[in-house]
Amino acid sequence: MDPLDRRLLEAIQQGLPLTARPYAAIAAQLGMREGEVIERLERLRRQGLIKRLGVVVRHRPLGYSANAMIVLDVPDRLVAQIGGHISRFSFVSLCYRRPRCGEQWPYNLYCMIHGKSRGRVLQQLEQLSESCGLGTFPREVLFSRRCFKQRGALYRASLVRGHADG
């Protein structure tokens, strides 16, 4: 990533211009050629710095009002296999391995389900549990009641938004 890449990523982080030739509009703003913007964006996407280009939805307007973080204590030798299996379900929106934090918090595998109701989320969790063989592992389900802060303004210098899911 060079300084021009960085300027380009900064220029589009709030959104792509809603105009027929958006990459030409960005190019004009940065004093570049349209073709160069396109090549650089292609490369940044290929390199994985841009995970995805497209729409970022808000959950609630689409009716996804239930949000559960499910945490599991899975034997270390099985965690990669089970994490891989869990992540293949379309209703799972995130799946991470994290360190255990002592007796108070022995969990090492986290996944998130966004659903239209708590009942539906719990059904999906049962489906996940049967299919991935999670039945015997200690687990907890943490529903969220509200989100207090969802940073509207971008953290400009950083470009660190990603999914901002830690």
The residues in 55-114 that bind other proteins, with binding defined as CB under 8 A, are 55-59, 61-62, 64, 67, 69, 80, 83-84, 86-87, 90, 92-99, 101, 105, 110, 114
Minimum CB distance to other proteins smaller for 96 or for 130: 96
Distance CA 104, CA 72 (A): 13
CA dihedral 70, 126, 79, 95 (to 10 degrees): -50
Closest distance to other proteins from the beta carbon of 130 (Å): 19
* Close Cβ partners of 19 (under 8 Å, ≥ 6 residues apart): 25
- In contact, 161 and 152? CB cutoff 8 Å: no
How many residues sit close enough to other proteins to count as binding (CB under 8 A)? 77
Identify residues 14-33 at the interface with other proteins (CB under 8 A): 14-16, 18-24
Residue labelled with tokens 């958006």: 22
Identify residues 128-147 at the interface with other proteins (CB under 8 A): 140, 142-147
Minimum CB distance to other proteins smaller for 130 or for 159: 159
